[in-house]
Amino acid sequence: MLSKARYFRIPQILVLLATLCTAAEVIIDGRSGPHRQGGASMVKWDRRVVWCGHKWCDGWAEWKFPGPSGTYKVSFELEAKGFGACPWTWTIAGKSVSGESRQACHCDRCWPLYRQDLGTFTINNGDICKWYAKNSFACGIDGPGSYAAWTVIKFVSTGPTGPECGNGSCENGEDCSNCPNDCGECGPQCGNGECESGEDCSNCPNDCGECAAECGNGECESGEGCASCPEDCGECPAIDAFSKINAVDYSDQSGTQKESGSEGGESIGYAAAGDWLLFKNVDFGDGANKVDARVATAESGGIDFVLDGRNGTKVGSISSSGTGGWTTWKTVSASLDKVTGKHDLYLQWTGGSVNLYWIQFSSEDDPVQPQCGNGSCEDGEDCGNCEQDCGPCETTAECGNSECEDGETCGSCPDDCGECETVDAFSEIKAADYANQSGTEKEACSEGGESIGFAADGDWIQFANVDFGDGANTVDARIASAESGGIDFMLDALDGTKLGSVSTSGTGGWEAWETVSADIENTTGTHDLYLKWTGESVNLNWIAFGHADATPVTARMSEGNGRRGLRLDGGTVYLSNRKGTHRTLLLHRLNGERVSVLRTSAAAVPVGMLLPRQSPGLYVLTVVHPGNVRESVRLIAGEAGSVAMESAGR
């Protein structure tokens, strides 16, 4: 039971005793002295349970909780001088608890104590607490000094709670970072490297960067141009749609890069789906319905042509499935919806990356004239008007017009050029001296003169009027190749009689010359001879035919006198007294095996050019003079390199 001595009684004022003890108690003493001074109210009050002349009276009080916010067990005590029942209601922090107290004595005879636990409440500092007593009946002494009822309420903390985010109050321990609902959003922090809401280039350039040029201030600043700010920089000059528009001369762009162009200047590279270029004020005049674009790509992609905005009117597109590389440029064309007048033109990439050099518009009624020298043989260009782009023209000589023109020979057009001279099959026939050909090329030969190169499967050369005499059944061919290939020998036509063929699996290089031999069908008389390549490329210097069973000549020749002056002196064969006359020298063993062939216009030839070194034995030397006149001698080579000669006319 609480002793009355523990409470303070100060007349005429409300007394609140809030004590924070080691048990964290808060005690509110509602007793206030004489009954006419307001009783237990703290904020406001009505009548207390006092002298009412034996009547039922109501009383109430309310106050603000003075202690710290927290969770409390709450109880109250009531002392009264009187008799009867007192219904009551407590409302604490919005939670109500009701009950009824009864006094066990009458009037002046006792001060009974009534105590009641109200429960546990979460209470914040300043929360409203209310007490209401109804229909109390009490006895008292009329006049000053009369006793009244006093009320005491006790709050015992069960442990303070932290701030409650979301209750609308920014409490101790709460701030914008952990409870923006109660304390509001945190303001931006300039200097944290993040351009936050409320920051911009003007109030925080450290986070948001320097402010861009301000379009409309009358000054064409860095970063502004005719495309982005015509108000300050003026309108962009008109671009002629029918001229060649370099891609790097754009007005604005997104995502693309300039790079050095392999055809000169710069081109646009690294552009892929979603990237774009803008060309302001493009003048299409009376109308364009076609576009040419110079592109290069190793992927598949395209470019859309859009008018007056990125989401404007699409008038067409170009595409490529690949040109063979990022610097392998090709001109692609596409039809457009007809465009007239001036427009802003957007080029928007679709699909994979496509490099772009230039674009050019035209009307199909007035096609763009080709530009000779751009590396592309375009419509309207040919070998005649632009050899630089299209290459040299092939011969267009007209056989039968009685004029032997460039590209015509005795083999391809005997009507205009006359019959070909007879070619001795047993002489060294230079491949470059053909009468006609297809697919081959002449080139300088490391063994002198010219040879046939770059000839492969299906290519051919023709020799007209080849005289095989009484018969040839072998062929020698001087060839060089880094690959495997062969040559067929055809009689009188490309699809005529096949005489035989020579082949190689490679000689070690394109100038590593070797002589290969083969047997052929015995051939007599005069014929057109076709050499047709099979397999891979084989270079050819010369060919020569022979007869494997040639009969050796046994007539001895004295030191002096062949029919045409053929003689041997000191290891040198003297052919005639005339220089400049072409002759063919053929050296065979007695069994018919060809040893060497030499075509020369010299008057004298060292035997060492014909005879293998340190190869003693018997040989047959045949000299073919102009007109297919032949002279044969037998050479006798000794062990020490001595040579004797026998001869007979033929």
Q: What are phi and psi of 384, to 5 degrees?
A: -75, -40
Give percent of the chain above pLDDT 70.
Answer: 73
Q: What is the pLDDT of residue 567?
A: 76
Q: What mean pLDDT, rounded, does the chain reach?
A: 76
H or E stretch covering 460: strand 460-467
Fold of 233-362: Jelly Rolls (2.60.120)
Q: Do domains 420-546 and 567-649 have the same CATH topology?
A: no
Residues 58/47, Cβ–Cβ less than 8 Å: yes
Q: In this predicted model, which residue has the larger pLDDT, 564 or 133?
A: 133
pLDDT in tens, 400-417: 777 777 667 776 777 777
User: pLDDT confidence of 233, banded at 50, 70, 90?
Assistant: confident
Q: What is the pLDDT of residue 57?
A: 53
CATH class, 420-546 region: mainly beta
pLDDT in tens, 569-612: 767 777 765 555 667 777 777 766 777 777 777 777 777 777 76
Architecture of the domain made up of 567-649? Sandwich (2.60)
Q: Count CB-CB contacts under 10 A for residue 647.
A: 24
> Which residues are paired to 297 by β-bridges?
325
- CA-to-CA separations, 326 to 308, 320, 397, 569, in angstroms, rounded: 30, 12, 41, 70
> Which residues are paired to 75 by β-bridges?
117, 154
**Residue type for position 14:** L
pLDDT in tens, 371-395: 777 777 877 777 767 876 787 666 5
Q: How many distinct helices (H) and strands (E) make up the chain?
A: 5, 41
User: Left, alpha or beta for 482 (phi > 0: left; psi -120 to 50: alpha)?
Assistant: alpha
User: Is the per-residue pLDDT at 110 higher than 90?
Assistant: no
Mean pLDDT calculated for residue range 467-477: 89
pTM for this predicted structure = 0.32
User: Is the per-residue pLDDT at 550 higher than 60?
Assistant: no
pLDDT in tens, 483-501: 999 999 999 999 999 999 9
Q: What is the pLDDT of residue 33?
A: 36
Residue 247, classed as helix, strand or coil, is helix
Domain 4-159 has CATH 3.10.620: no
Give me the residue spans of the domains in the chain.
4-159, 233-362, 420-546, 567-649
User: pLDDT confidence of 104, banded at 50, 70, 90?
Assistant: very low
Q: What is the pLDDT of residue 572?
A: 79
User: pLDDT confidence of 647, banded at 50, 70, 90?
Assistant: very low
